[in-house]
Amino acid sequence: MIHCDAPGLTPVTEALEHILSSVQPVTQKESIALRDACGRILANDVISPVQVPPQDNSAMDGYAVCPADTDRYQLVGTALAGHPFAGVVQPGQAVRIMTGAPLPVGATTVAMQENAQVEGDVVTFSTLKDGDNIRRAGEDIALKSVVLTAGRRLTPSDCGLLASIGVSDIQVHRPIRAALLTTGDELVEPGRPLADGEIYESNSFVLLPVLQKLGAEVRNSSRVADDLETIKAELSRAASWADIIITCGGVSVGDADYTRLAVESLGDLSLWKLAMKPGKPLAFGQVGESLFLGLPGNPVSSLVTLHQIGLPVLRTLAGESVRLPLRIPAKAASLLRKRPGRTDFQRGVASLSAEGELVVESAGQQGSGILSSVSRANCFIVLEQERGRVEAGEQVMIEMFDQWLL
């Protein structure tokens, strides 16, 4: 057991780097149909077996022309997409051609139909420039070029790209298996009445959709009792199946923080006090063959920690090459309260001012239990660890909410 909680706080980037160094991606791969591949993680580089487009073709509806020293071109045929012109275009001849149709042999330019005048089988052009309006063979993708690299989470346009090179099946990493445990005797399933001292369990309603968006297979145990043996039994059961166990709550140093004790007795645990706000306590370790990630219990802390630390961990585990979220400068529209010592991930609302400037204001109360400000927000205002309060007009960095939070 390593304790990283003393002395002081660990910067977020340092903790993340340390944690990621012990995450190995799942190695099993599976072959799936391209139609099912969006959102999956590519297991191998994809090398194109063809060039795209396969041959020179027309970028316009118009006339494919073999230029000659004449004003009057003889119309000798038609080329449609899927129906090429079979002959050879001689100097002084033109072929009616539609967008996407292969460029006939002999033609070296395509004239737009807007620049053509037709009389019977004679066509004249107001302008004609060699090489115009032709999409060249291979201009999109060259033969044997690397089209996509391993570790990429496939987007809709990636799937289109793969289809354009004729790929029908693709090797991806198998989905990760994530077990989610929420602990706390005070937690009640929404829909039931609350007794004195109880609150509704809400964290799993944030965490589960994120895990589902990631494409993870998920098993959820909500509202596990604050009891050491119960939590140990749940963790052991989860560890026999999951690649990663995620808990929320029970990892600080309170009297009923049994999750930490349970993991310490079953496996390895590093306890981090992160220099971030919200979300100070974070536990990371191993139970059996499973990774263990213990998020804080406070709803906003749990969400922010999941976003900043949990997502890179889960995505790396899934085999994805992770790029950290883009941070962009914006102008604070109002005062932002902050004390030096921790990196703040305040919830903000970013917009363009009437002058076209990117501005950001606080989304409201910034307490670690105030979920309503997260719902109002569209970005994190990331305030550096050593920074104090921010006056209106100062520059701050923001991170727009990404696909995982929207």
Residue found under tokens 């989860």:
238
* Candidate ranges 7-15, 138-146, 297-305, 315-323; the one touching ligand AMP (CB under 6 A): 297-305
* Candidate ranges 52-60, 85-93, 180-188, 316-324; the one touching ligand AMP (CB under 6 A): 180-188
Q: Report in angstroms how near the CB of residue 313 gets to ligand AMP at its nearest.
A: 19
246 neighbors 260 (Cβ within 8 angstroms): no
Phi first, then psi: what are they for 184, rounded to 5°? 145, 120
Mask: binding to Mg ion, 246-275, rule CB under 5 A, as x and -? ---xx-------------------------
Strand order in the sheet with 122-125: 109-112, 62-65, 93-97, 73-79, 122-125, 116-119
93 versus 302: smaller Cβ distance to ligand AMP: 302
The entry of ligand AMP, Mg ion, none near residue 340 (CB within 5 to 8 angstroms by kind) is none
How far is the CA of 268 from the CAs of 67, 183, 262, 265, in angstroms? Answer: 77, 19, 10, 8
DSSP 8-state assignment for residue 89 = P
Q: Report in angstroms how near the CB of residue 326 gets to ligand AMP at its nearest.
A: 30
Q: Which residues pair with 219 in a beta bridge?
A: 179
Measure the CA–CA gap between 75 and 286, rounded to whole angstroms.
Answer: 75
Among 84, 175, 285, 299, binds ligand AMP (CB under 6 A): 299
Q: Say if residue 355 is exposed, middle or buried (CB neighbours under 10 Å; 0-12, 13-18, 19+).
A: exposed
Q: Report in angstroms how near the CB of residue 301 gets to ligand AMP at its nearest.
A: 8
Mask: binding to Mg ion, 164-193, rule CB under 5 A, as x and -? --------------------x---------
* Candidate ranges 72-80, 249-257, 282-290, 390-398; the one touching ligand AMP (CB under 6 A): 249-257
| Interaction residues for Mg ion, span 84-143 (CB under 5 A) | none
Residue found under tokens 């977020």:
12
174 versus 260: smaller Cβ distance to Mg ion: 260
Amino acid 310 reads G
The entry of ligand AMP, Mg ion, none near residue 202 (CB within 5 to 8 angstroms by kind) is ligand AMP
Q: Report in angstroms how near the CB of residue 297 gets to Mg ion at its nearest.
A: 5
Among 248, 313, 332, 350, binds ligand AMP (CB under 6 A): 248
How far is the CA of 396 from the CAs of 104, 309, 326, 360, 379, in angstroms? Answer: 58, 21, 13, 9, 12
The entry of ligand AMP, Mg ion, none near residue 298 (CB within 5 to 8 angstroms by kind) is ligand AMP
| Interaction residues for Mg ion, span 290-309 (CB under 5 A) | 297
319 part of the interface to ligand AMP, by CB under 6 A: no
DSSP 8-state assignment for residue 15 = H
Measure the CA–CA gap between 390 and 329, rounded to whole angstroms.
Answer: 14
31 neighbors 44 (Cβ within 8 angstroms): no
Residue found under tokens 């399933």:
189
The entry of Mg ion, ligand AMP, none near residue 227 (CB within 5 to 8 angstroms by kind) is none
216 neighbors 311 (Cβ within 8 angstroms): no
- Residues at the contact surface with Mg ion, assessed by CB under 5 A: 184, 249-250, 297
- Residues at the contact surface with ligand AMP, assessed by CB under 6 A: 182, 184, 186-187, 199, 201-204, 248-250, 252, 254, 296-299
